[in-house]
Amino acid sequence: MEILQHLFDGFLIAFQPLNIGLVVLGVIVGLFIGAMPGLGSVNGVAILVPMTFLVPPTAAIIFLAAIYYGAMYGGAISSVMLGIPGASTAVATTFDGRPLALKGLADKALLGAAVASFFGGTLSVILFTGFAPPLADVALSFGDPEIFALMLLAFATFVGLGGDDIPKTIFSIAIGLVLSSVGFDYISGEPRLLLFGLDGFLNQINFLVLAIGIYGIGEMLWTIEVSRGDSMMSKAVITVDRMWGNAKELLGTWKVAVTSSLLGFFVGILPAAGATPGSLMAYGVAKMTHKNSENFGKGEVAGVVAPEAANNAASTGSMLPMLTLGIPGSPTTAILLGAMVIWGITPGPTLFVDQPELVWGLTASLYVANLFALLANVFMIPIFLWVLRMPFTILAPVIFVLSVIGGYAATLRLFDVWLMLIFGVGGYLLRKLDYPLAPAVLAIVLGPIAEPKLRQSLIISDGDISIFITRPISGTITVIALLLILLPLFKLIRDRLRQKASSTA
C-alpha cells in the first residue's frame, strides 16, 4: 500500500502541465532521434542535456527519460522501413522487420514493434516499481565470472541464429570476434590488429558503423541486384480490417513478449550490459524456442516482438542501478547520471528517502511515456507506409545518404564513413555466398563485453577456469550455455540414428 501511495503521488507530479508537456515533447523528439541512423538515445540525450537547465530537476529528468523511451521505440522505424538500424539496440529488429516490409507487411512489423515495446516497457516499469531494492541487490551479486557466463549463454544462441550450416555460422562468429578485438588491448593497453597499420583502427571498430554498413549499404546493394532497381519497397495498404487482423495475430506472440521482457529487464539492470545485448539475446532465445523457428530471418513477426520488448524493458532496467546504487546500467543512463550530478542530485540508496518526488515522479512518467509512444507509433504507421511506397530508384539514394550521415554522426570521423562502405560491400558479398550475417554482428557487440570479463575473471583466479563452474550463479549459467552449444550435435546424432534405423527397417 505504501508503494501504491508513492506511485499515486508520482502520477500527480507527472500530470502537472509542465511535466506532461515535457513527456509528450520528449517522446516525439526521441522517436525521430531513434529513427535517424547513427544518432540513438545516447547522442540524443547528450545533445539535449543543456536544454534541461531551463526547468526544475524533476521535470528535466522526466524529459530526458522520455527521450530515452522514445528513442527505444523509434529505432525500429528505420530498421523496418529502410533496413538501417536507427541505433544499436534495433539491430535485431532488422532481422525480421526488413523481410516483412519487403513482403508488403511493413504495417504488421511496425505494429508488432510498437505493441511489443509498450508491453516490454510497461512490464519493466511494474517490476521497477515493486522490486527496485531487491533487484538492485541481485545485480550487485553479478561479478566478472557471472557476466562472462551470461555472455557465453548469448554466444550459445548463435548456432541457432545461423541456420543449419554450422561451419558458416562459426566462421561468421569468428569474423565478428576478430573485428571486436581491433584497437587497444583492455589489459595491457597495447594496440592490436591494426589492419594495414591504419591509425583509424586505434579507436576500435564502432559497432553502429558496422551495422549501418551491413544493413544499410549491404542491403541496398542486395536489393538492387535482386530487384533490378525497379521494385517498390512495400505495397501495403493500411486499412482498419488489416490492422485488426494484425493485432489479433500479435496475441499469439504473448509468450515471446513476456520472456523477452523479463530477459531484457534482467540484462538491463546488470552494469555494463544494456539494451543491445538484451535485445540480441532475446532474439536468439525466441528463435531457439519458437515453434516457427525456421521462419526467423525470413519475416516472422515474433522476430520483431522479441528484440523490441527486450530493448524497452532493458532501458527501464538500466535506470534501476543508476537510481538505487549510483551505477549506470547503460551508456544512456551514464549521461543521465552525469546530468543528475550537475543538478546537485546524488543517486544512491538514500535517493528514495531524500527526494521521493523525483523518483516517483520519474517512475509515473515512464507509464505515461509508454502509453503516448504506443499511440504515436500506431497513428503514424500510415505515414511510414507512404514513405515505403516510394519507388526504389528514389529510395536507394535516400538510404545511401542516410547511411553516410549515420556512419559519420556515430563518431564524427571520415575514416568510419569509408569503413562503413567497406562493411557494406563485405556484407553484400557474404550474403551472396550465403553466410549468415547475424552471428557476426552479435559477436562484435558482445565481444568487447565478454573479453575483459573473461580476462579479469582469470586474473582473479590465477588462471583457473574452474571459477566459471564453482561459483553458483556463473556455474549454472555456464552449464546451460554448454548444453545449448552441444544441442546441434545431439540433433545431428539423433538424425543419423533415425536415418540408419529407417534404412535397416
| Ordered alpha helix ranges (H), 184-301 | 207-212, 219-227, 240-250, 254-268, 275-289
Tell me the whole-structure pTM to 2 decimals: 0.74
Say if residue 179's pLDDT is above 60: yes
Residue 386 and residue 394: Cα distance in Å, rounded?
A: 13
Measured CA distances, 268 to 98, 235, 265, 325, 329 (Å)? 25, 37, 5, 14, 6
Say if residue 402's pLDDT is above 80: no
pLDDT digits 0-9 by tens, 339-362? 787 777 777 667 777 788 888 888
Question: Got the DSSP string for 74-88?
Answer: HHHHHHHHTS--SSG
For all residues of the chain together, what is the average pLDDT? 79
pLDDT digits 0-9 by tens, 78-132? 788 777 776 777 888 888 888 888 887 888 888 888 889 899 988 988 888 877 6
Residue 235 and residue 503: Cα distance in Å, rounded?
A: 48
Measured CA distances, 145 to 141, 367, 413, 465 (Å)? 11, 35, 35, 10
Burial class, 215, CB count within 10 angstroms (exposed 0-12 / middle 13-18 / buried 19+):
buried
- Mean pLDDT across the stretch 286-311? 85
All residues at 6 or more sequence positions from 170 whose CB lies less than 8 Å from its CB, including other chains: 162
**408 or 18, higher pLDDT:** 18
Residue 363 and residue 379: Cα distance in Å, rounded?
A: 25
Q: What residue type is assigned to position 486 of the chain?
A: L
pLDDT of residue 229: 47
pLDDT of residue 1: 65
Say if residue 272's pLDDT is above 70: no
pLDDT digits 0-9 by tens, 411-454? 778 888 888 888 889 888 888 887 877 777 777 877 887 888 88
E strand or H helix at 376: helix 356-379
Residue 23 and residue 64: Cα distance in Å, rounded?
A: 9
- Mean pLDDT across the stretch 234-259? 75
For residue 258, what pLDDT band results from cuts at 50, 70 and 90? very high
CA neighbor of 360 nearest in space, from 62, 18, 60: 62
For residue 172, what pLDDT band results from cuts at 50, 70 and 90? confident
pLDDT of residue 232: 45
Residue 242 and residue 420: Cα distance in Å, rounded?
A: 38
pLDDT of residue 231: 46
State residue 375 phi and psi, 5-degree precision.
Answer: -65, -40
